[in-house]
Chains A and B, each alone.
Chain A
Amino acid sequence: MSTSNRIEASPAPSGGQSIKATIGQLLRRPEAGSLLGLIAVFAFFAILGGKVFLASAGYASWLNVAAEIGIVALPIGLLMIAGEMDISIGAVIPAASLTVAIVSGHYGLPEPVGILAGLAVGLIVGSFNGYIVNRTAVPSLIVTIGSMFGVMGLTLGFTVLIAGSTGVSLVPSAAGKAILGQFIGGMFEVTIVWWLLFVAAFFYLLHISPKGNWILALGGDKVSARNAGIPTARLTVALYMLSGFSAAFVGVSQVFVYQSAQVLAGQSFIFNSIMCVVIGGVVLTGGAGSVVGIVFGTLTFAIVNQGIYFTGIDPNLGSIIIGALLLLAVMTNDKFRQMAVSFATKKKK
């Protein structure tokens, strides 16, 4: 913010330099690297995957994946910007699915009750995480690993106790199916629309409402943020509740899409969401990142993950690309940050 002000204030000597400055400014945005990565990956698979990848079935395959991960990646990204982590989402997703399936499928209660119960699970786990993180000096990685194991055990134990098996099915009503589990045009999950709504809401939260600055401040320097009057404790709890809620939302919508809930689902979301966020330019140590970047990161991840099936390449090589992309992303972010820091000092002279 301050950089842009300074550049505007300085008398622009020539058009060429101001364009240079604008490009430099764009390059230093958190999402610049991830946009370049997204374009490169899309071009790569468009060339290798050909017409099938560029047909609507191709788009559907990676957009469906992107939507589910993306809804979780958004709050994880916000938490990471605030300097925290949440591993427990891997257990919240199946916990919410099974809550819906047990409440509405096994006990036959109305669907809204099941959906609310499922979402409530996420909010409860989130507020628990936030409370423990605030009250102790324990790193949130450890706290949320603990709650992950706890929620996993509760889910498994209660599901077997109540339903007698590790999978519970649910036949959704027409309305429930239309809102949460529909395939638009026969292939695009309605979750994509929900993802866009989540993106809009998170964009407002981080970049327009004053809470966004609070989150960035919290990740930049927690003590100073608190001294500046930001209610850091309440903000932390709210962010954890947000990530619990979003994970639960994905779990709930999965039940309506796949019509059944499994105990062992969601583990892959833990690392996948972190990778999306990091590829999207969020710095794990907190204080920098953007919602647009997280969206780009999610799309990049999903394209690599699914696009590889449209090429003749061994699908397993996809994970090498993702690993390389991740390392490349963090290293360029590292470079960009250093450049940005050194740029600011030069201006001061």
Chain B
Amino acid sequence: MSGLFGQFIRRPEFGAMLSFVAVIAFYVAFGGVSLSSLFGAASWINFAANLGIVALPVGLLMIAGELDISIGAMIPAGSMSIAILSGYYDLPIVVGILGALAFGVLVGLANGFLAVRTSVPSLIITLGTLVAVQGLVLAGSVMLTGAASVPLNAPAWAKLVFGQLIFGKFQVIILWWFALTVIFGFVLHAMRYGNWIFAMGGDEVSARNAGIPTNRLKIALFVLSSTAASFVGMCGAIQFNSAQVSGGMNYIFNTIVSIVVGGVLLTGGFGSVAGIFLGALTFAVVSQGIYFTDIDRNWSNLIIGVMLLAAVLMNNTFREIAMRYVPKKSK
């Protein structure tokens, strides 16, 4: 095993790469899918972009050893905020956009403060905010507008930036996803904040003792994740000219699965942005690509479950190999 290859297979994104190739190979071999139609299709890439934008910050949180499931409520919250502000009350679209993002920041701050100030696991904290935001959005939209669905007509420039279809089928949010992936990749792998995040996920007490502002960092990460979820909801509202209160709950498990398939360890301290990107892509191929195969789409959840378990078991094995490999080198 040459050094370069050995190094590559120990990277967090190696497993994600392998899963991605394996799923496509499986679909080609057993589903009779043609690669040109699969790669030309927009449905799964659109799906991946929406999922991927949420998965990036949640993945960073998981690397830092935390979890955020309130995103499931933030997606409809983001879309309802902009639709109520700019659709129902006819305020300028900028107000709606800022309102949606501000709501995300607020919920993120609440999550972050609770996570920092108490010793309660973030799963439980964000479960609480998930339920509370869900109720708030449902009750709020019914109380203010009298309906569970609100129309929104965005001006042309907002549509162009947030809700356009490129070539009539690719959502513009794909470009946002690419851009955010690059930014997150830079932050995690090229800036000191990235090292801080890894250090915090590896050992929070040592990280704090080393002078890393763990509390501020944690709050910032929670703000990022709920704002990203709100952003996805907002783009959806602009794109489809209306906002729905339901939906978003699927994102909770879908993001966690795509992040884990992407090679991030739930216990923190290990992962990469490239892996999270590939994880979202792989998840999308499994759940949406199945429509291009002869396989009955009802089996897609089974494939996701098997893939997740295979991915974690594989990551587990690779980590063990990596752990054993290092002491040998130092000898």
Contacts and interface: CB of A to CB of B under 8 A. Distances in A.
Interface of A: 87, 132, 136-139, 141-143, 145-154, 156-157, 160-161, 267, 271, 274-275, 278, 284-285, 314, 316-324, 326-327, 330-331, 333-334
Most B CB within 10 A of own CB, among A138, A139, A317, A322: A138
A334 B305 contact: no
Given A146-B305, A148-B305, A324 B121 contact: no
Contacts of A149: 253, 257, 301-302, 304-305, 308
Contacts of A143: 309, 312
Contact of B260 (A87, A142, A327): A142
A148 to B, nearest CB: 7
Interface stretch (B25-33, B82-90, B133-141): B133-141
Given A139-B266, A141-B123, A319-B135, 18 more contacts: A138-B266, A138-B312, A143-B312, A149-B308, A150-B301, A153-B303, A157-B299, A160-B296, A274-B127, A317-B139, A319-B132, A323-B131, A326-B124, A330-B118, A330-B120, A331-B114, A331-B118, A334-B120
Nearest to B301: A153
Contacts of B125: 327, 330
Contacts of B131: 271, 275, 319-320, 322-323, 326
Nearest to B259: A142
B145 interface: no
A166 B253 CA distance: 22
A275 B127 contact: yes
A136 B305 contact: no
B293 to A, nearest CB: 14
Interface string B111-130: 00010001111011101111
Nearest to B245: A316
Nearest to A319: B135
A145 B135 contact: no
Nearest to A331: B118
B316 A137 contact: yes
A100 B292 CA distance: 33
A153 B118 contact: no
B124 A153 contact: no
Contacts of B139: 314, 316-317, 320
B210 interface: no
Interface in B36-87: none
B321 interface: no
B300 interface: yes
Given A149-B302, A316-B139, A331-B120, A323 B129 contact: yes
A146 B128 contact: no
B309 A156 contact: no
Most A CB within 10 A of own CB, among B124, B296, B304: B124
B1 interface: no
Contacts of B313: 132, 136, 138
13 contacts: A132-B313, A146-B312, A147-B305, A148-B305, A149-B257, A149-B304, A153-B298, A154-B302, A284-B124, A285-B121, A320-B131, A322-B132, A330-B124
Nearest to B253: A145
Contacts of A87: 253
B296 A314 contact: no
B256 interface: yes
Nearest to B295: A157
B4 interface: no
The 9 closest A-B pairs by CB, nearest first: A153-B302, A323-B132, A150-B305, A319-B135, A149-B305, A153-B301, A316-B138, A323-B131, A320-B135
Most A CB within 10 A of own CB, among B130, B142, B309: B309
Interface in B292-330: 296, 298-306, 308-309, 312-313, 316
A149 B142 CA distance: 33
A323 B130 CA distance: 7
B258 to A, nearest CB: 11
Nearest to B137: A316
B304 A142 contact: no
